[in-house]
Amino acid sequence: MGDLTGFKRARFIILLGALTSLIPFTIDMYLPAFPILANVFDTSASSVQLSLTATLLGLAIGQLFAGALSDMHGRRKPLIISLAIYVIASAACIFAPNIFIFVLLRFAQGFAASAGLVISRAIVRDVSSGAELTRLFALLMVVNNLVPLLAPSVGSGVLLFSDWKGIFLALSLLGLILLLISAFRLPESLPVEKRIPSNLLSTFSSFSTILKNRQFTGYALAQGFLIGGVFAYVSGTPFIYQNIYGVSPQVFSLLFGMNGIGLIIGSYAVGRFAHRISEKQFLERALYAAVAAGAVLLAVVSFNGPLWAVAIPIFFFVTSIGVVGTASFTLAMESQSKAAGSASALLGLLPFILGAATAPLVGIAGEETAVPMGLTIFTMCLIALLAYLFLAKNADQQQVNERL
């Protein structure tokens, strides 16, 4: 980004950060309205959680298309088209006549929002390298970790002055603002001579080769299953905190935000103490901590424990995500020097796909029990630990033995 200095550089970074924030706003902002949506559409908690599943599936599938199309047509055109679709889908949610149409529109929202993340990262790679690339990616990660703190609070704030439709009106306006800024202020970062044919098919074909690497698969599954557990928490706590424990949407947002602080602490710890503790040690300890937190949570909800006894293990579980997400991504990418693009796409896909599978499970027994959420989180944590131990760590040990 050699020709971008001063104010223009700051504006450029803010825009890219705003584009990446579209995903957490899309996922988290409507969480305080979950119980309201169940009443409005006269449906079950599990059906409302299915709308989150649809969003996550849209995000997973959309990443592949957005990346391939931006490589072929440049960054601006696919981004602008995706943002236009996002605005339309967000506004259409307001007029959804039933839960089924609402779920379909949420899929469209997720599919369109994925372009903001994928293309903003691609733009960073286009315009920077070396230390500057690292700094820009670090700034985008800060935004990604901070927005989940704010989004539920923004959603609950909207509910103070409007009904649930106000949340989707706000999302539509956010998308419209990003669309206009991208159309008039974002320069094309990929020259025509550097564009390549769509690599969607090649990405799929390379997945099988990448997954044969036991180290990569172990790290990817550890991250994917643990983050899958996060989406069980994300979809379950709006009902559990508000319906079972009777807290307001505002208190729910406060509790949700505190867990977001734990996520930031976990991510920061890996970078801050990496010179003292290896990433593998960080990862293994965090996985054991997640299993312990999941076990405590399951025990508490099984015996209908108080709110504070539920909130504490959830905090430690989410904090472990910050550690595992950071360490596992780095370790997984280190094992893939020849297929970094496909490996990155696969690491992006797994959490959303597993999250889509777990989100509706927590409401399967109704809105008055937290046991399915506790059981799902504990199970996902345990599978994540086993995937690391029997795939990644085992493969690492075999490599050490071969060298000896």
Contact 60, 353 (CB under 8 A): yes
Q: What is the pLDDT of residues 33-67, one digit of tens each?
A: 888 999 999 998 888 888 988 998 999 888 878 87
The class of domain 200-398 in CATH terms is: mainly alpha
pLDDT mean over 314-342: 76
Alpha carbon distance 341, 353 (integer Å): 19
Which pLDDT belongs to residue 113?
Answer: 93
pLDDT mean over 334-343: 60
Tell the CATH topology of 12-198.
Answer: Growth Hormone; Chain: A; (1.20.1250)
User: On the CB side of 209, how many CA atoms lie within 13 Å of its CA?
Assistant: 12
> In this structure, which amino acid lies at residue 71?
D
Q: What residue segments make up the domains of the chain, in order of their start? A: 12-198, 200-398
**In this structure, what are the phi and psi dihedrals at residue 263, rounded to the nearest 5 degrees?**
-60, -45
> In this structure, which amino acid lies at residue 335?
S
Q: What is the pLDDT of residues 371-398, one digit of tens each?
A: 999 999 999 999 999 999 999 887 666 6
CA distances from 126 to 1, 48, 189, 280 (A): 8, 39, 6, 31
Residue owning tokens 């990405």 = 203
Alpha carbon distance 239, 227 (integer Å): 20
CA dihedral 114→115→118→121, nearest 10 degrees, is -130
User: On the CB side of 286, how many CA atoms lie within 13 Å of its CA?
Assistant: 34
Nearest one of 15, 24, 11, 393 to 214, comparing CA atoms: 393
Cα 214 to its chain centre, rounded Å, is 24
Asked if pLDDT for residue 266 goes beyond 90, the answer is no
Which pLDDT belongs to residue 362?
Answer: 79
Q: What is the pLDDT of residues 274-298, one digit of tens each?
A: 667 777 888 999 999 999 999 999 9
CA distances from 183 to 99, 180, 187, 313, 386 (A): 33, 5, 9, 45, 47
Asked if pLDDT for residue 146 goes beyond 50, the answer is yes
Alpha carbon distance 398, 118 (integer Å): 35
Nearest one of 267, 401, 253, 385 to 321, comparing CA atoms: 267
Which pLDDT belongs to residue 189?
Answer: 75
Size of the chain in residues? 404
Asked if pLDDT for residue 12 goes beyond 80, the answer is no
Asked if pLDDT for residue 400 goes beyond 80, the answer is no
Asked if pLDDT for residue 402 goes beyond 80, the answer is no
CA distances from 93 to 42, 100, 166, 247 (A): 16, 11, 11, 26
More confident residue, 180 or 350: 180
Give the pLDDT band of residue 367 (cuts 50, 70, 90).
low
Alpha carbon distance 235, 240 (integer Å): 9
Percent of residues in the chain assigned helix, strand, coil, to nearest 5: 85, 0, 15
More confident residue, 361 or 195: 361
Which pLDDT belongs to residue 2?
Answer: 46
Query: CA-based Rg of the chain, rounded to a whole angstrom?
Result: 21
The per-residue pLDDT of the chain, averaged, comes to 82
pLDDT mean over 236-262: 86
Do 200-398 and 12-198 fall under one CATH topology? yes
